[in-house]
Amino acid sequence: MESLKRMAGTLLAIFQTRIELLSNEMEEERLHIGRMFLYGGIALLFFGLAIMLLTMFVLVLFWDSHRLLMLGGFAALFFVAGLLAYNALRRVARERSKLFATSLAELANDRDWLAHRP
């Protein structure tokens, strides 16, 4: 009976450790995603401002001679850039996340250890 109690205690300790590892992974992923959104948003803001200012600069530069050609060219350029970004977003959305990979690997190791223990 004492052996069974020790084994149950060991199993509970292993389970608690794995749950703590899972919790840590979730917190790290949450912080990582938050930082990505913050820096991504700031980068998009400044890139957007730069693109708008560059577009206005070129339009003012060619206002007297080729303003319609420049407007059409920028519209086409921005449309193509939007399509490329949309395709990249779809490709990234289809990729599998590596969330909980460490926890799943450790649980598999625990299962193998328990299965091969005499």
Instruction: Find tokens 């970004």 and name the residue.
Output: 85
pLDDT band for 117, please (50, 70, 90 cuts).
low
Calpha distance 51→18 (Å, rounded): 48
**Where would I find the beta strands (DSSP E) of 1-118?**
none
- Taken in order 82, 88, 91, 94, the sign of the CA dihedral is negative
Percent of the chain with pLDDT over 90: 26
User: What pLDDT digit, counting tens, does each position of 29-71 carry?
Assistant: 889 899 999 999 999 999 999 999 999 999 999 889 988 998 8
pTM: 0.54
